[in-house]
Amino acid sequence: MSGRRRRRAPGARLRPFWFVGTAVLLVAMVVGYLLMSWPGFAPKHVRVIGNHIVSAQEILERARINTRANVWLQNTGAVARRIEAIPYVLTAHVHRRLPAGVTIVVTERHPFAVVQSGEEVATVDRSLRVLETGASDAALPVLVVARGMDLTAGQFLRAPSAFALRAAVLSLRAHGVSVQRVVDDRGDVDATLPGGIFVLLGDETNVANAVPLVEPILTRFALLGRFVGTLDLRSPTTPVVTERSGAARGSRRVRGAPSALQ
């Protein structure tokens, strides 16, 4: 027993490498610090692409990229979220390139309609985000909603009536009908078309059945040289047309099944 060799503990075997490991760790820390503080990683130029409505200057101001800090340590997700807070910005993506290049790619929102709430007016995109106060384009359809709606730039309209009016505009467009104005009349959707034609579409559940009848009826009357003043489609199976003369004097009501009116 006394002649057997004593087995060395694992810690004793590694003890000669402790100094080397500590030295390597210290060197790595120093190198890491030097890399983090190296001015070469501080962004000197930030490029913005994809913007046509929002200025590059506004995007850079919202981005708040630190030009004195290592770009690889900055939170690009937070930068993108700050840019997307701009009402006209849909998405923002921040791309870094070695050694310290930064490119911001922006996708913008586009005006869809003008919303009128009482005396307040604002421009919204298709998702009903308020892009700006006032009407950016007179050719946009007007959605007349209830009073008191928050039309602050950057807000999203969440009222059911706003969704119903948007759906009516999209449905009319899909069926080849231009629309100037849609109104929420106590749950019913009323639309004004070019030429002052007034269309009563009924409640939200009735719109899908009423809209496909608009263009065929108007086309039929136009081919006959007759002018439609009001088109009542609240009962799609028996639409009612109020005619007007070319001089807009007098009217005549025509009632019947869609096949007869078309």
The letter for the amino acid at 105 is: V
Q: Are 226 and 246 in contact (CB under 8 A)?
A: no
Task: Give one DSSP letter per residue of 89-110, joined into a string.
Answer: EEEEEEEEETTTEEEEEEEE--
Band of residue 247 on the pLDDT scale cut at 50, 70, 90:
very low
| Cα dihedral 25/29/31/33 (nearest 10) | 180
Closest to 113 measured CA to CA, from 215, 182, 188: 182
- Per domain, the residue ranges of the chain are 42-108, 114-261
CA-derived radius of gyration, the chain? 33
The pLDDT assigned to 18 comes to 59
Q: Give domain 114-261's CATH architecture.
A: 3-Layer(aba) Sandwich (3.40)
Q: Are 140 and 113 in contact (CB under 8 A)?
A: yes
Residues of the chain with pLDDT > 90, as a percent, come to 67
Rounded to an integer, the average pLDDT of 50-66 is 96
Is the pLDDT higher at 225 or at 15?
Answer: 225
Rounded to an integer, the average pLDDT of 34-46 is 70
Q: Are 239 and 232 in contact (CB under 8 A)?
A: yes
The highest-level CATH class for domain 42-108 is: alpha beta
248 has pLDDT over 70 = no
Domains 42-108 and 114-261 share a fold: no
- pLDDT for 165-202, tens place per residue? 999 999 999 999 999 999 999 999 999 999 999 999 99
- pLDDT for 215-245, tens place per residue? 999 999 999 989 999 999 999 999 999 998 6
Residues of the chain with pLDDT > 70, as a percent, come to 78
The pLDDT assigned to 38 comes to 58
Closest to 50 measured CA to CA, from 77, 17, 14, 86: 86
- pLDDT for 123-144, tens place per residue? 999 999 999 999 988 899 999 9
Which has the minimum average pLDDT: 17-21, 29-33, 111-115, 180-184? Answer: 29-33
34 has pLDDT over 70 = no
